[in-house]
Structure 1
Amino acid sequence: MEQSNVETLFERLDNLTETVQQYMNETYLDSLATVLEAVFEGEPQQGLEDQLKDIPETASYEVIEIRKAIQLAILKGMKGATQEQHLMTPETVALFVGYLAGKLTNDQTDIRVFDPAGGTGNLLMTVTEQLKSIAKITAGEVDPTLIKLAVLSANLQQKEIEFFHQDSLRPFLMDPVDLVVSDLPVGYYPDDIRANDYQLKADEGHSYAHHLFIEQGLNYTKEGGFLVFVIPEFLFDSDQSDKLHAFLQENAHIIGVLQLPESAFKSEKNRKSILILQKTGPETVALKQPLLAQLPSFKNTEAMNDILTQINQWFKDNMNK
Structure 2
Amino acid sequence: MEQQIDSLFNWLDETTSIIEQEENTPYIEALIAASNLLFEQQVPEDLEPNYRTQLTNQVNAIQFSDFEREARQKAMQLAILKGMKGATQQHHYITPETIGVFIGYLITKFVGGQNSYRLFDPASGSGNLLLTILNQQQNMEVDSYGSEVDPTLIRLAFNNTNLQEREIEYFHQDSLKPILLEPVDVIASDLPVGYYPDDDTASSYELKAEEGHSFAHHLFIEQSIKYTKEAGYLFFVVPSFLFESEQKDQLQSYLKEHVHIVGVLELPKSMFQNEKFSRSILILQKKGPQTRDPRKVMLAQLPSFKDVEATNNVITQIDQWFKNDR
CA offsets per residue over residues 27-46 of structure 1, 9 Å max, x none?
11110000011111111234
Q: Give the C-alpha shift of residue 51 in structure 1.
A: 4.0
Relative distance call for 1:304 and 1:41 in structure 2 (3 A) is same
Which string of whole-angstrom CA distances, capped at 9 and with x for unpartnered residues, describes residues 102-127 of structure 1?
11111112210000000000001101
Q: State the match for 2:322 in structure 1.
A: 315
Q: Deviations over 1:176-228 (max 9, x none)?
A: 10000000000100000000111100011000000000011101100000000
1:19 aligns with 2:25: no
Partner of 2:4: 5
Counterpart in 2 of 1:292? 299
How far residue 26 of structure 1 moved from its aligned partner, in angstroms, is: 1.5
**Is this contact kept in 1: 2:193–2:216, CA < 8 A?**
yes
Report the counterpart of residue 248 of structure 2 in structure 1. Answer: 241
Displacement of 1:288: 2.4
Q: Which residue pairs with 2:90 in the alignment?
A: 84
Q: Which residue of 2 aligns with 1:119?
A: 125
Measured in 1, the distance between the counterparts of 2:217 and 2:255 equals 14
Q: In percent, how many aligned pairs have the same letter?
A: 51
Q: Which residue of structure 2 lines up, in the alignment, with residue 30 of structure 1? A: 29
Distance 1:110 1:306 in 2: 29
User: What corresponds to 1:49 in structure 2?
Assistant: 52
Deviations 1:286-320 (A, max 9, x none): 1121100001111111111111111111122234x
By how many angstroms is 1:80 displaced? 1.9
Greater displacement, 165-174 / 86-95: 86-95
CA distance in structure 2 between the partners assigned to 1:15 and 1:306 by the alignment: 42
Please give the TM-score of this superposition, normalised by the length of structure 2. Answer: 0.95
Counterpart of 1:262 (choices 266, 269, 293) is 269
Q: Which aligned runs of 4 or more in structure 1 are off by greater than 6 angstroms?
A: none
Q: 1:93 touches 1:264 (CA, 8 Å); kept in 2? A: no
CA contact (8 A) 1:261 1:294 kept: yes
Residue 145 of structure 2 aligns to a residue whose secondary structure is strand
Q: Secondary structure at the match of 1:84?
A: coil
Residue 86 (structure 1) shift: 1.2
Q: Which moved more, 1:190-199 or 1:125-134?
A: 125-134
SS in 2 for 1:285: coil
Deviates further, 224-233 or 299-308:
299-308
Which ranges in structure 1 are unaligned for 5 or more consecutive residues? none
The TM-score with structure 1 as length reference comes to 0.96
Distance apart, 1:267 and its partner CA:
2.5
Q: Tell me whether 1:274 sits opposite 2:287 in the alignment.
A: no
2: CA distance between counterparts of 1:81 and 1:316?
Answer: 44
1:162 aligns with 2:169: yes
Query: Whole-Å Cα distance in 1 between the matches of residues 275 and 22 of structure 2?
Result: 38
Q: CA deviation at 1:268?
A: 1.9
Aligned length: 318
**Local SS of the residue matching 2:64:** coil
Partners of 1:121 and 1:110 lie apart in 2 by 20
* Secondary structure class of the residue paired with 1:215: helix
Cα distance in 1 for partners of 2:258, 2:21 equals: 51
